[in-house]
Amino acid sequence: MNVWERGICSRVKELREAIKWQQPDFAAQIGITLDRLASIEYGRTPLRYDLAWTISVTFAVSLEWLAEGRVAPDDYITLNFPAPKETGLSEKALLSEVSERFIGEHEKCRNDGPDKTRIKIKIDPDDLKLRVHILTMIRMQAPTWLGSVKNPEDFYLSLANSVADYLTTKPAEPADLVNARITALILEKVRLDNATRLAVMNAAEKKPLTYVSESSNIEDVKPKLPALLKRIKKATEPRGTKTQLAKFLDVPLSKVSQWLAGENEPGGETTLRLLHWVEQQERQKIKSPGSASTPPEPKDPNHE
């Protein structure tokens, strides 16, 4: 396989190890044999698109990250990727083929030279643990901060600029190390979010919580469904979005209407996909250009 395919395979392994799943459990969750997963992780078998789609939906990771590793792993991008049955390609099409058709060619991904983008930087586990703790504390404080300020946009820009100024006063660290830390933090967030999602899914289907981390906050799905459906109702207000949701879930439009009306409840796997869809819609709305309510993103001093 070329360097692009090997990079894709390595990110499957990176994801599984980051969320602390064993190979047998991971393989079972995405519906393949242990031998096939091992063959993918060790770069002997390229990743097919239908399986990449399953991984993305199941673990809430970006297809674009799996394909190219250039965006954040939790940047749940599917808008540029069609459902497996809608690619116009063979059922056995690879993720790289679909990415090339719908995202475009990227020279660095197609280069058959040494895979310099896959240099593994070892992160000190104690250092990562401290950073995760600080990140959690910041997330806990953020609602209080935002609720206390009169002008949230001004607060955001001041905070972002203060951080940028702080970073310029410190000696610059190697970009590879900085990027490795960022990815490790994001994958740890993916792990925790995934544990919560699976708790919701398994509670809905009354399954044992085999794959849920002991550190996750396990809650019954019943209190979560009303809040989730409320978010979905808001997200489907624009004309045509309810049809898009039905298409994404591969269910009749009437089924979506029944869920939103409270006539039926979605099953565990569908609940998981509904969570993914509404998160995607909300994130896309925040990132949409030209939005008056969205403050501009500060320049990242660690990236060009």
- Is it the case that residue 215 has pLDDT exceeding 70? no
Task: Report the candidate in 143, 118, 139, 251 with the shortest Cα–Cα distance to residue 188.
Answer: 139
User: Each residue of 228-260: pLDDT tens digit?
Assistant: 888 889 889 988 889 888 888 878 898 888 888
- Contact of 78 with 56, CB cutoff 8 Å: yes
pTM recorded for the entire structure: 0.56
Tell me the per-residue pLDDT of 115-154, one tens digit each, with 9 for 90 and over: 444 456 778 888 888 888 888 788 778 888 889 999 999 9
- Residue 299 pLDDT greater than 50, yes or no: no
Distances (CA, A) of 277 to 37, 52, 69, 253, 289: 26, 17, 21, 15, 20
Do residues 228 and 219 lie in contact, with contact meaning Cβ atoms separated by under 8 Å?
Answer: no
- Residues 25-76: pLDDT tens digits? 899 889 999 999 999 999 999 999 999 999 988 888 888 888 887 777 766 5
The H-or-E segment that residue 296 falls in is none
Q: What is the pLDDT of residues 94-108, one digit of tens each?
A: 999 998 888 764 444
